[in-house]
């Protein structure tokens, strides 16, 4: 399942994104695509990612992030120790392939 965000991501959108991810993460691998996020509150994105990483571990489902490597959001994620174990890919195809290779 690919969940693609676009536009502005700030604290107001955190609960809506978490609700969507929570709905899908119970049953399948999820890729969060932030490639088309135009403005981002990095701490809001990190909060979403941390919650999704915990759910992925609890449900034994894969979780990956796709985004422009040079974007402010992706640079903030790279700098945050809490997201170091997050699977990050340049495109959704690569993320889907990588998630299929994860051990069950």
Q: For residue 41, what are its two tokens?
A: 């509150």
In angstroms, how far is the first alpha carbon of the chain from the final one?
A: 17
Can you list the alpha helix ranges (DSSP code H) found in 1-104?
14-25, 42-59, 72-79, 92-100
Looking at residue 103, what is its pLDDT?
A: 64
Of 15, 22, 2, nearest to 47 by C-alpha is 15
pTM flag (> 0.85): yes
Which residue in 58, 68, 59 sits closest to 33, CA to CA? 68
CB atoms within 10 A of CB 94: 15
Give residue limits of the domains in the chain: 2-100
Contact yes or no for 30/4 (Cβ under 8 A): no
Give mean pLDDT in consecutive 10-residue pieces for the chain, a chain of 104 residues. Answer: 91 91 92 90 90 92 91 83 88 91 67
Query: What local confidence, expressed as pLDDT, does residue 26 receive?
Result: 87
pLDDT in tens, 65-95: 999 888 877 888 888 888 888 999 989 999 9
Domain 2-100 fold: Transcription Regulator spoIIAA (3.30.750)
Q: How far apart are alpha carbons 80 and 82 in whole angstroms?
A: 5
């Amino acid at each position: 399942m690919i969940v693609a965000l676009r536009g502005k991501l700030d604290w107001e959108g955190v609960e809506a994104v978490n609700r969507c991810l929570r709905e899908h993460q119970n049953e399948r691998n999820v890729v969060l695509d932030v490639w088309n996020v135009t403005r981002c509150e990095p701490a809001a994105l990190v909060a979403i990612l941390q919650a999704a990483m915990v759910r992925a571990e609890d449900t034994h489902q894969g979780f990956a992030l796709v985004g422009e490597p040079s974007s402010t959001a992706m640079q903030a994620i790279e700098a945050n120790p809490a997201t170091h174990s997050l699977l990050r890919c340049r495109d959704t195809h690569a993320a889907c392939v990588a998630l299929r290779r994860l051990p069950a």
